[in-house]
């Protein structure tokens, strides 16, 4: 595959993020490992509370001081976990940028858009005021904001939701980051706008050679945008592989359930599938597989023995004790539809 030949920029190994007291920690991210290559878009999928957003924030170290991060986050070979704030700040926004879910609340309502872009340039570049302004216009242009020059002095509330998300992307791109962390960037937007933003991210990644981790709860978004996808549940990874493989041939019962809940090629008026039950609370995770309580094929050992990620094909890993049962359970019904 194309992906394999590119160099890996981010290598997350056994990431663990916990909150609360040392004695009774709430583990939000547990033993999560994945890699992202240059120019690649990795989808991180899961329900709310599955730990996907916390994973992103852990990479940038912005969950501190309240949360604790363990494991390794290798950024071009350098481990970010032990870095102090001052050194992390030189990577945040400059090499790794992040955009947030709510374009309404993520831009400072009291500052002009121009200032919010240029403060990024002040922090990470040597550009003078005139050059910063030129760059800001260039960035707004790049993300497709019409009449960019005249909008620098506008405030966030003078932009529509989709435009605000573009502004946020422009801010994130200010100092040419090599990795963009996108935390549900389209969830708060209309479907048509959603599409535009995703295509924008895609083209930016391609044109700038920028890696992207796209967090979402929507398999449809992944299918449309991502090269590879990692499925998270209860703070752990359950399946990771190329998008085509995972979508066409999911193995983990949770991924299968997620895919089943997207309406595809179904007859009209067929009730949509939804995974029974609700995601577990962080303080009530079983020692074994996090999904065991809701899993249709769980056996007696599932709740006690943690399944490890194991290779299933060349580029794919799955964490499940009952792969055959899962295929058998979901397979025939898929055919029946």
Contacts with another protein, residue ranges (CB under 8 A) = 57, 60, 62, 85, 88-94, 97-98, 100, 102, 105-111, 119-120, 123-124, 155, 157, 168, 171-172, 181
Nearer to another protein, 37 or 91 (CB): 91
Between 111 and 131, name the residue whose CB sits nearer to another protein: 111
* Closer CB to another protein, 124 or 316, in the complex: 124
Report the 10 Å Cβ neighbour count for 318: 25
Token output for 33: 């490992």
Give least dist CB 89 to another protein, A.
5
How big, in percent rounded to 5, are the helix, strand and coil portions of the chain? 40, 20, 40
Tell the smallest beta-carbon distance from residue 171 to another protein (Å).
7
Listed residue (181, 241, 145) closest to 56, CA to CA: 181
If the CB atoms of residues 189 and 309 are measured against another protein, the closer one turns out to be 189
Provide, rounded to whole angstroms, the least separation between the CB of residue 24 and another protein: 17
Interatomic CA distance for residues 106 and 171, integer angstroms:
11
Q: What is the dihedral of CA 252, 287, 274, 184, to 10 degrees?
A: -80
d(CA 68, CA 30): 12
Find the shortest distance in angstroms from Cβ 334 to another protein. 37
User: From CA 36, how far away is CA 295, in angstroms rounded?
Assistant: 29
Output the smallest distance, CB 79 to another protein, in A: 18
* Of 170 and 275, CB closest to another protein: 170
């Amino acid at each position: 595959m194309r992906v394999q030949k590119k160099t890996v920029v981010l290598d997350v190994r056994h990431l663990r993020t916990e909150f609360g007291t040392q004695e009774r920690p709430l583990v939000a991210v547990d033993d999560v490992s994945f890699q992202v290559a240059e120019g690649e878009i990795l989808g991180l999928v899961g329900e709310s509370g599955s730990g996907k957003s916390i994973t992103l924030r852990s990479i940038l170290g912005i969950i501190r001081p309240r949360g604790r991060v363990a494991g390794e986050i290798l950024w071009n070979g350098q481990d970010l976990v032990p870095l102090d704030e001052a050194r992390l700040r030189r990577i945040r926004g400059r090499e790794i940028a992040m955009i947030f879910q709510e374009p309404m609340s993520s831009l400072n309502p009291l500052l002009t858009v121009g200032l919010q872009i240029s403060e990024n340039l002040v922090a990470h570049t040597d550009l003078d005021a005139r050059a910063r302004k030129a760059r800001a216009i260039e960035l707004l242009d790049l993300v497709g904001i019409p009449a960019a020059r005249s909008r620098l002095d506008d405030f966030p509330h003078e932009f529509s939701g989709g435009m605000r998300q573009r502004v946020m992307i422009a801010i994130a791109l200010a100092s040419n980051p090599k990795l963009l962390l996108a935390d549900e960037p389209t969830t708060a937007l209309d479907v048509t706008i959603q599409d535009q933003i995703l295509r924008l991210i895609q083209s930016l990644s391609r044109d700038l050679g920028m890696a992207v981790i796209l967090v979402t709860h929507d398999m449809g978004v992944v299918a449309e945008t991502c090269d590879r996808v990692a499925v998270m549940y209860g703070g752990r990874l359950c399946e990771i592989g190329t998008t085509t493989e995972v979508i066409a041939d999911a193995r983990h019962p949770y991924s299968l359930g997620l895919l089943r809940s997207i309406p595809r090629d179904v007859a009209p008026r067929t009730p949509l599938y939804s995974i029974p039950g609700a995601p577990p609370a962080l303080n009530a995770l079983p020692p074994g597989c996090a999904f065991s309580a809701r899993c249709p094929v769980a056996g007696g050992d599932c709740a006690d023995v943690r399944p490890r990620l194991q290779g299933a094909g060349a580029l794919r890993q799955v964490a499940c004790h009952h792969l055959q049962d899962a295929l058998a359970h979901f397979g025939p019904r898929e055919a029946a539809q």
